[in-house]
Amino acid sequence: MDGVKEYAILMLDPEGNVLSWNAGAERLIGYRAEEILGLHIARFYPPEGAHLSAEEALALAAREGHFREEGWRVRSDGSRFWADVTLTALRDRGGAMRGFAQIAHDMTERRAANEQIMTLNAGLEQRVRQRTEELAQAVRELEAFSYSVSHDLRAPLRAIDGFSQALLGHAASGLDDKGRHYLDRIRAGARHMAELIDDLLLLSRVSRSELRRGPVDVGEIAAVIVKEHRRRQPDREVDVRIADGMAAAGDRRLLAIALENLLDNAWKFTARKESARIEVGAEPGSGGETVFFVRDDGAGFDMAYADKLFGAFQRLHDSAEFEGTGIGLATAQRVIARHGGRIWAEGQPGQGATFYFTLGSA
């Protein structure tokens, strides 16, 4: 009956006995007028399961002047329906109670539909929680596996590098240039694999470690990283500009890892320039947040491949041209994501790149 609402309209005396009964009431509840006139509305209330009794509903309407509720009601054949019921007290000019007007209509189908929606939503939420936990467990197991495998690979790699070095020293006089070149290649490969393992372990630790937010000076962290780059490559001519007052809220240790990877990236891809420039700064974002950036004038990249930048092992430049493991930007992205922020990049081939990031809210 929800498609076209059937309204039952009753007039009641001050005690709650039926004085008038419209055709809608007859169709909805089932009694003919001659069967119900003079009888109390309590007969429409189920013996159990009602929120309020008929007497309590009448008392509330008399006290408040108006009362509305939804609840179970009983038809003449004993079947139940869920009713939306309004009771209004009627008084004369002197305030004396004259009776009540009651309007009711059937909400059974709508209630059933709402219950079905609630059941479906509850089931969906349960499935989402279950799938989320399964995914989290799979990620934890994968990270534990990666950590274990990476850790166990260190020993044989150290052995390969060590024995290769020992062989170079022991049999150097018996090796021709090609033999020494082969051993050098073996050692270089072992070192590169060791770097890759270190980066994988770092990526795993970034994902697993507890996030501890606090006040952070982004410029101070950047300056320490740049100082170390200058120490390792004193012959590089790089103009580095770091803005003052770049305060942020974040995990200092993790943000240092992210900035180190972004600055390593800038330092690496400006290596072929005689005089390079790197800038670390901040600017207001469109949403009111602070947007930090690391900008360089190095090799740049094609924006058509920008979606690949932050994937592990994704490289947009040949490894022979620029060394690296392909994990640094993935690690930076993981750090920023753990802070609830975003990271993205803009660039052009041969004209440098800018990496932007936000840190979310504390």
Give the position of tokens 């006995």.
17
Estimate the crossing angle of helix 177-208 against helix 252-269, to 10 degrees.
150
Give the highest mean pLDDT range of 140-144, 217-221, 257-261, 301-305. 217-221
pLDDT of 56 above 60:
yes
pLDDT of 293 above 90:
yes
Pairing status of strand 290-296 against strand 353-357:
antiparallel
For residue 36, the number of C-alpha atoms closer than 13 Å in the C-beta half-sphere is 23
**Do the domain assignments include residue 271?**
yes
| Whether residue 167 sits in one domain with residue 295 | no
Q: Which of 186, 208, 230 is a domain's end point?
A: 208
> What is the arithmetic mean of pLDDT over 22-46?
93
Look up the CATH number of the domain holding residue 91. Answer: 3.30.450.20
| Whether residue 158 sits in one domain with residue 76 | no
**Spatial CB neighbours of 223, under 8 Å, sequence gap ≥ 6:** 242
Q: What pLDDT is attached to residue 1?
A: 44
Q: Give CA separation, 87 vs 74, 91, 125, 351, in Å.
A: 17, 13, 38, 77
**Do the domain assignments include residue 194?**
yes
| Whether residue 319 sits in one domain with residue 229 | yes
Q: Which of 152, 174, 208 is a domain's end point?
A: 208
| Whether residue 181 sits in one domain with residue 227 | no
- The count of structural domains within the chain is 3
| Whether residue 339 sits in one domain with residue 248 | yes
| Whether residue 165 sits in one domain with residue 236 | no
Domain that holds residue 190: 138-208
| Whether residue 331 sits in one domain with residue 218 | yes
| Whether residue 300 sits in one domain with residue 271 | yes
Rounded Cα gap, residues 251 and 337, in angstroms: 12
| Whether residue 193 sits in one domain with residue 76 | no
Residue-wise pLDDT tens digits, 66-84: 999 998 999 999 999 999 9
Mean model confidence pLDDT for the chain: 84
**Do the domain assignments include residue 267?**
yes
**Do the domain assignments include residue 1?**
no
| Whether residue 336 sits in one domain with residue 251 | yes
CB 22 within 8 A of CB 28: no
